[in-house]
Amino acid sequence: MSEVILNSSNFEQEVINSSTPVLVDFWATWCGPCKMIAPIIAQIAVKYDGKVKVGKVDVDENPEVAESFNVSSIPTLILFKNGEAVAQRVGGASMPVLEAFINDNL
Protein backbone atom coordinates (compact mmCIF):
# COMPACT_ATOMS: atom_id res chain seq x y z
CA MET A 1 0.00 0.00 0.00
CA SER A 2 1.21 3.51 -0.66
CA GLU A 3 1.29 6.32 1.82
CA VAL A 4 -1.88 8.29 2.46
CA ILE A 5 -1.60 12.06 2.08
CA LEU A 6 -3.17 13.49 5.21
CA ASN A 7 -4.63 16.93 5.81
CA SER A 8 -7.05 18.65 8.17
CA SER A 9 -10.10 17.42 6.24
CA ASN A 10 -9.22 13.69 6.18
CA PHE A 11 -7.06 13.25 9.31
CA GLU A 12 -9.91 12.19 11.59
CA GLN A 13 -11.27 9.66 9.10
CA GLU A 14 -7.89 8.21 8.06
CA VAL A 15 -6.13 8.24 11.46
CA ILE A 16 -8.41 8.80 14.45
CA ASN A 17 -11.18 6.51 13.16
CA SER A 18 -8.85 3.88 11.67
CA SER A 19 -9.20 0.32 12.94
CA THR A 20 -5.60 -0.26 11.81
CA PRO A 21 -2.63 1.37 13.58
CA VAL A 22 -1.39 4.42 11.66
CA LEU A 23 2.17 5.72 11.41
CA VAL A 24 2.04 9.44 10.62
CA ASP A 25 5.09 11.18 9.18
CA PHE A 26 5.06 14.95 9.81
CA TRP A 27 7.40 16.45 7.21
CA ALA A 28 8.08 19.40 4.87
CA THR A 29 9.50 19.70 1.36
CA TRP A 30 12.47 21.82 2.54
CA CYS A 31 13.49 19.41 5.33
CA GLY A 32 16.69 17.48 4.56
CA PRO A 33 16.22 14.72 7.17
CA CYS A 34 12.61 14.32 5.95
CA LYS A 35 13.89 13.67 2.43
CA MET A 36 16.42 11.18 3.81
CA ILE A 37 13.80 9.03 5.57
CA ALA A 38 11.14 9.32 2.85
CA PRO A 39 12.33 6.16 1.00
CA ILE A 40 12.36 4.25 4.29
CA ILE A 41 8.83 5.41 5.11
CA ALA A 42 7.75 4.25 1.63
CA GLN A 43 9.33 0.82 2.27
CA ILE A 44 7.53 0.58 5.61
CA ALA A 45 4.21 1.33 3.88
CA VAL A 46 4.80 -1.68 1.60
CA LYS A 47 6.30 -4.02 4.21
CA TYR A 48 3.62 -3.35 6.83
CA ASP A 49 0.68 -3.28 4.38
CA GLY A 50 -2.37 -4.62 6.19
CA LYS A 51 -0.76 -4.20 9.62
CA VAL A 52 0.01 -0.48 9.70
CA LYS A 53 -1.33 2.35 7.57
CA VAL A 54 1.28 5.00 6.72
CA GLY A 55 0.29 8.63 6.32
CA LYS A 56 2.16 11.87 5.62
CA VAL A 57 1.32 15.37 6.83
CA ASP A 58 3.05 18.32 5.16
CA VAL A 59 3.41 20.68 8.13
CA ASP A 60 3.59 23.77 5.89
CA GLU A 61 0.27 22.96 4.23
CA ASN A 62 -1.40 21.66 7.42
CA PRO A 63 0.04 23.57 10.39
CA GLU A 64 -3.12 23.07 12.44
CA VAL A 65 -2.71 19.27 12.32
CA ALA A 66 0.94 19.51 13.41
CA GLU A 67 0.07 21.97 16.18
CA SER A 68 -2.69 19.73 17.51
CA PHE A 69 -0.04 17.06 18.26
CA ASN A 70 2.61 19.54 19.47
CA VAL A 71 4.92 18.79 16.54
CA SER A 72 7.70 21.36 16.78
CA SER A 73 10.54 19.53 14.98
CA ILE A 74 10.48 17.48 11.81
CA PRO A 75 10.57 14.78 10.80
CA THR A 76 8.30 13.60 13.60
CA LEU A 77 6.71 10.16 13.45
CA ILE A 78 3.68 9.43 15.59
CA LEU A 79 2.12 5.99 15.86
CA PHE A 80 -1.63 5.99 16.47
CA LYS A 81 -3.63 3.02 17.79
CA ASN A 82 -7.39 3.17 18.28
CA GLY A 83 -7.32 6.90 17.59
CA GLU A 84 -4.72 7.65 20.26
CA ALA A 85 -1.10 8.70 19.83
CA VAL A 86 0.83 5.89 21.54
CA ALA A 87 4.42 6.64 20.53
CA GLN A 88 6.42 9.48 19.02
CA ARG A 89 9.88 9.71 17.47
CA VAL A 90 11.69 12.83 16.25
CA GLY A 91 14.49 12.89 13.67
CA GLY A 92 15.85 10.64 11.00
CA ALA A 93 16.49 6.94 11.50
CA SER A 94 17.46 3.77 9.67
CA MET A 95 15.02 1.07 8.58
CA PRO A 96 15.93 -1.23 11.54
CA VAL A 97 15.41 1.61 14.02
CA LEU A 98 12.03 2.55 12.54
CA GLU A 99 10.93 -1.08 12.40
CA ALA A 100 11.84 -1.49 16.08
CA PHE A 101 9.90 1.70 16.88
CA ILE A 102 6.81 0.29 15.15
CA ASN A 103 7.12 -3.27 16.46
CA ASP A 104 7.74 -2.12 20.04
CA ASN A 105 4.57 -0.03 19.99
CA LEU A 106 2.09 -2.19 18.06
* List 31, 37, 40, 54, catalytic entry: 31
Give the pLDDT confidence score for residue 40 in this predicted structure.
97
At 30-88, the pLDDT tens digits run 999 999 999 999 999 999 999 999 999 999 999 999 999 999 999 999 999 999 999 99
Active site residue 82: no
At 1-25, the pLDDT tens digits run 689 999 999 999 999 999 999 999 9
CATH topology of domain 4-105: Glutaredoxin (3.40.30)
E strand map for the chain = 4-6, 22-27, 53-58, 76-81, 84-90
Give the pLDDT confidence score for residue 2 in this predicted structure.
83
65 Cβ contact list (under 8 Å, min separation 6): 6, 7, 8, 11, 26, 57, 59
Active site residue 54: no
Strands 84-90 and 4-6: unpaired
Give the pLDDT confidence score for residue 1 in this predicted structure.
67
Give the pLDDT confidence score for residue 19 in this predicted structure.
96
* List 4, 23, 24, 34, catalytic entry: 34
Distance from C-alpha of 64 to C-alpha of 67, rounded to nearest angstrom: 5
